[in-house]
Amino acid sequence: MACRSGPIAFGHPGTGGGPAGRSESFVWRFILHEMPLSHSRSHLLQQKAEAVFPGGVNSPVRAFRSVGGEPPFVARAEGAYLYDEDGNRYLDYFGSWGPMILGHAFPSAVEAIREAAGRSSSYGASTAAEQNLATLVQRCFPSVEKMRFVSSGTEACMSAIRVARGFTGRNFIIKFEGCYHGHSDALLVKAGSGIATLGIPGSAGVPAETVMHTLALPYNDLEAVKAAFEARPGEIACIILEPVVGNAGTIAPAPGYLEGLREITRKDGALLIIDEVMTGFRVTLGGAQRLYGIDPDLTTLGKIVGGGLPCGAFGGRAEIMNCLAPLGPVYQAGTLSGNPLAMAAGIATLEHLIRNEEAIYAQIDRTTQQIADGVAAIARERGVPLTTNRVGSMFTWFFTANPVYDYDTAAASDTVAFGRFHRAMLDRGVWLPASQFEAAFVSTAHTQQDVDFTLEAARSALA
C-alpha cells in the first residue's frame, strides 16, 4: 500500500524522533505502511501542466515516463526534504539534479539572493560579484586561468567546444556514449540523461551535417580513442567527457583512463575538456580533476557553481580563453551571463564549502557510503541483483548483477525493476532520481536518521 511521509507530527527523520513510549521501528512501520499518500492536487496540476507544457514538464526526465506514475508537484523544499502540493514530505536524493549540495534553502545562500535581488535582479553590465565568484572558482580549480560565466551547463559545454575548435582550427570532436553535455546540437549524439532515459539515439531536429564532426565512442575504452586519433591525426579539436559519468547513472573512470586521454590529446595537439558540471565541487571541492590528478585544457561548470540558480561557467588556459570576443574571433555572449542573483548564490555556496571543506566532504562521503552500501546489502539479503556505483556523494543502484563501466553495461540493467523500486521508494517518502540513467546525490543536510529511514524504506520496497 502507498504511504504518507509527511507532514507528520512524529517519527519522520528530522522531526526529532518517535512518539514517547514507541520504538522508532514501530513509527517507521506506521509511516511506511499505514498512511496512504494523497496526490490529488499534484494530479490536478499534472493535468493542467499537460495542456501547456509538452509532457507536462519543462525538462523531460521530470515527467517520470521511464519509472511510471505521476510526478508530485513541489511546493517548497528545506534541507534534505521536498514538500509537495498535497503536503507530503520526501527525502530528496536528486537535489535539483546536483546543485543542492548544502540542502535546500541554505540560509546564507537565501540571504545572499535576497540581498542581491534588492539591488536589482540584472544589470547586463560588469559587477564585482563576478570577480568574487571567479576568484573562488579559481581557488577550487587552479587549471581555470580565465573563465566566462554563462546561464547553464548546456551553454558552458557548447561554448567550450566552440572555443576549442576556434583555438585549434579543427572540426572533429570526441564525446562518449552515455555522457551528457547539455542539449546543444553537436553534443546530442548517443547522449545520456533524458536521451538515454527515453531510449532515443539522438534528437530529431538535429541535421546530420551538424553532427558529422561528432565522434561518439564507448566510455572507459582507451583503445577506441587511440584508433580515432590514428584515423584522423591533426583533425580532432577536442575530447569532452564527464570525468565521472553521472548521466548514464554513476560510472567511475577506469584506472589510467583519464591519464590516457590526457596523454593522447597532448600528443596530437587536441584539447581535453573535462565537463565538471555535475562533478565540480561535488566529488571533491576541486572536482574530479583534483580527485584523479588530471590537468585539463578547459573545464565546464554548472549546478553547484550557481548555488541552485541558473549559472554555468567554462574556462581554462588563458591562451585558449583569449580567443573569445572581444579579444579574439570566437563569439560567445549572454544577456544574463554573470547574473547578480546567481553570483550571490554561488559565492555563498562556495564560501561555505571552502570554509568547511574537510568536514563537509568527509560527512557526505560517509553518509552516501552508508546509504549506497546499506541498500546494496539489503538487496543481497533479498536476492535482488544490484550493482552499486559510487564516487563521493554521487551514486547509482543499477538493477543488474554485472559490473557497470560504460553505457552498454548500464543499459543492460533492468529498467522496469528500477521503475518499480522508484515508485515503491516514492510511496515510502524517498524521492530518487526518476531514471536508471541519472546519479543520485547526497547533501550535507542528510542526517543519520535519514540514512536509517532510507534503509528501512528500501527494506520494505525491495520486499
Report, as residue numbers or ranges, the catalytic residues. 180, 275, 303
Shortest Cβ 88–ligand PLP spacing (Å)? 26
Neighbours of 208 (CB within 10 A): 7
Residue (100 or 157) nearer to ligand PLP, CB: 157
Residue (13 or 433) nearer to ligand PLP, CB: 433
CA distance 95 to 98: 5
Shortest Cβ 190–ligand PLP spacing (Å)? 14
CA distance 366 to 383: 25
Q: Which amino acid is at 176?
A: F
CA distance 61 to 387: 22
Say which residues have a Cβ less than 8 Å from residue 69's Cβ, sequence separation at least 6: 423, 426
CA distance 186 to 196: 16
Residue (261 or 458) nearer to ligand PLP, CB: 261
Residue (3 or 432) nearer to ligand PLP, CB: 432
Neighbours of 68 (CB within 10 A): 12
Residue (6 or 99) nearer to ligand PLP, CB: 99
Residue 311 CA from chain centroid, whole number: 14
Residue (84 or 242) nearer to ligand PLP, CB: 242
Shortest Cβ 181–ligand PLP spacing (Å)? 5
CA distance 31 to 196: 34
CA distance 164 to 185: 16
Shortest Cβ 251–ligand PLP spacing (Å)? 12
Cell of 318: 588563458
Q: Which amino acid is at 197?
A: T
Residue (84 or 275) nearer to ligand PLP, CB: 275
Residue 35 CA from chain centroid, whole number: 32
Residue (153 or 307) nearer to ligand PLP, CB: 153
Shortest Cβ 195–ligand PLP spacing (Å)? 11
Cis omega (within 30 of 0) for bond into 255: no
Q: Residue ranges of the alpha helices (H) in 55-140?
A: 107-117, 128-140
Shortest Cβ 39–ligand PLP spacing (Å)? 26
Residue (279 or 368) nearer to ligand PLP, CB: 279
Burial call 306-321: b when 16+ CB within 10 Å, e when fewer: bbbbbbbbbbbbeebb
Q: Which amino acid is at 297?
A: D
Shortest Cβ 415–ligand PLP spacing (Å)? 19
Maximal CA-CA distance, the chain: 73
Shortest Cβ 137–ligand PLP spacing (Å)? 16
Beta pairing partners, 245 = 251
Residues that bind ligand PLP in the complex, under the rule CB under 6 A: 97, 152-154, 157, 180-182, 193, 242, 246-247, 275, 277-278, 302, 312
CA distance 249 to 247: 5
CA distance 301 to 281: 9
By Cβ distance, which residue is nearest to ligand PLP?
153
Is 223 buried (19+), middle (13-18) or exposed (0-12) by CB count in 10 A?
exposed
- Closest-CA residue to 64 (of 411, 425, 310, 405): 425
Shortest Cβ 184–ligand PLP spacing (Å)? 9
Backbone phi, then psi, for 357, in 5-degree steps?
-50, -55
